[in-house]
Structure 1
Amino acid sequence: MKFALVGVGGAGGRIVDRLHEEEAATGRSFSNGSLLAFDTDRSAFEGMDHIPLDRHILVGDTHPDIRGEGVDGDIELAVSVAREDRNELHREFDKLKLHELDAVVLVGGLAGGTGGGLGAVILESLQTLTDIPVYAIGVLPDGGEPDQHIVNAAESLQSFVRLADSVILFDNDAWHDSADTLETAYDSLNDGLAQRVSAMLGLNELADADIAENTLDSSDLIKTLDSGGISVIGQATVELEDSGFFDRIVSLFRNGDETEDDGTTTTLAMRTQDLVQEATTRNLTTPCEMSSTDRGLLLVSGPAEEISRKGFESGRYWLEQESDAAEVFAGDEPRPNGSTVTASVLLSNVTEIPRVDRLKERAVEAKQTSTSKHQPQD
């Protein structure tokens, strides 16, 4: 499956840069260099090491209110500038060769003016230019960020969900360790997101993978995301020599009960099933209520002899029951020389997401506070 990756704003550009790096590191080739990075601030391109210079697109560089220095969090300004430059944007899309792709993935930080405002206009434009799916990856701000970022994120999320065929959501607040500043945590946050997204976009793209017993293909991914709305991705990995990690997982899901081990077969089955549960209950890009899922997709990757067929089927059955999804696609990805076993899970059209509810509530409160401050006093 071949995707174009379009980064918008500082966060979106950094994540696309990291995704392209992940392609090379893992051998999952899913973009074939179909990359673009848009920004209103020329300095944002300085940190991009893997996106070619001719794919760096500065928007609004001649606009009197921007001149290449960004929109300072102003979504309305970003939208206005993007619409003025819409013809120029369309010419840049020619570099993507949309007719050769299966889908486009736009990535943007929802708290920023450029990511949210310019990102929405680009989504709108892409939907008019191509019949292939146009997905979005939206990054929610940390809870400690200013009110304006929260308001931007709430408005941008609404626009992204309306314009994209599906929005994969990543919540910085859920993943940010408060011991680190958000700025120092960006690399690790982007790493976690890139690993999860590349596993899904790179289905069956591993150069050294063997033939799977249960193969997933691009149509399965598209069918999963076809239900629209908000999607989340979970992932859990065990190092094959790290028995301590496996023991911790078992203790989490067996409630301290002793499990009779009748040999390697039972051990592998437990590990495979518990990795699926770990990925879905503790490691989602945005925590959500599983039972509000419309469709799901499960991929288990690792050496064939380390993936239990019984554990795989048990994990799939558990996912079907807990998510109450109408359909769950599942497959394996044998890697003969792999040193890990990884379970990756995609939940689509999830409707119960506490973080989104809190974001909307805080955005309303922030707007009310701002309005009261600007009202004339008697």
Structure 2
Amino acid sequence: MELQIIFQEAVKRSASDIHLAPAMPPLVRIDGQMTRLTEETLTSNELQGMLRALLSAEESQLLQERGQADFGFEDQGIRYRANVYRVGESLGAAFRILGESIPRGKDLGLPEAVELWAQLKQGLVLVTGPTGSGKTTTLAAVIQEINETRKGHILTLEDPVEYRHESLQSLVTQREIPRDSKEFSEALRAALRQDPDVILVGEMRDLETIQTAITAAETGHLVLSTLHTTGAVSTVDRMVDVFPPHQQEQIRLQLSMVLEGIVTQKLLPKREGSGRIAAFEVLTATPAVRSLIRDGKTHQLYSQMQMGASAKMRTMDQDLLRLYRLNRIDRKTLKEFAMDPEGVEKQLLQGEKEGWR
């Protein structure tokens, strides 16, 4: 079995991910569900041969030193993100299929607020959500919009580089961690000396990266990044809590001044047919939101989102209800992904009394 054939079949079946493991057939994830691509199993030797042929010398060295290697590559016009890792004496791999082109925000159904944030000259914008929720794709769409409409320098720091951007109106410089710089924090410090207008940080993993990102936003840059958090409120708390107690008041003050918005996303199964659809929670940094962050009253941010439609805000549950009313998701999915299932059920019952379907 050839690796290229596996890729072709996975793309043909609209898979989002491919998993290869010794003594197992190739597995793919379709609409969030894992399924066998074929019944033919891969031997350990066969799999090692496939995967080692895919690795560059640098990636082979990373695999040797760290037990895993992350990288991006293209095959027959399709971009992939790969993680090859050791499994005992053998190797395994997970591939994310990124597609042929950078998607448009409108095709992803991005909230209007996100498209407006792409026009900002400075500040901090965060895209959050669980692994596999499409955060990288959302940021790629935002970068593409900036690239097509603004003259400037866009600098991305990624591990690995997933979508390749051609310089259009802007100069786009894409640096890969750890190939071009050992750590995000180190690359971000260097970025401030590279005259960027927009900085994309693939993921804020530690205190130093978060601190430097805030500083970059304070000094006149638009900074875009991701966090593996489940909502806007937990995102703010996470960013503050990573600092020692004696620094947290200062960080809340800085964050309240530079934060422009947080979007949290989830991918849900569509009501009918194949495919998935995104639901979004949006927090916009209004004066009231900035005040709550500064004063450490993050528990009140949720009510700001609930009542903030005029500022293009919404909670995840409000967006789930919107998708349900549009017949895009079913009732089971609505309740499964709701942050407050009981509250959603009450709204459903009330809505049905008022003539909802």
With normalisation by structure 2, the TM-score equals: 0.31
Relative to its length, the structure with more helix (as a share) is: 1
Higher RCO structure, 1 or 2 (CA under 8 Å, sep 6+): 1
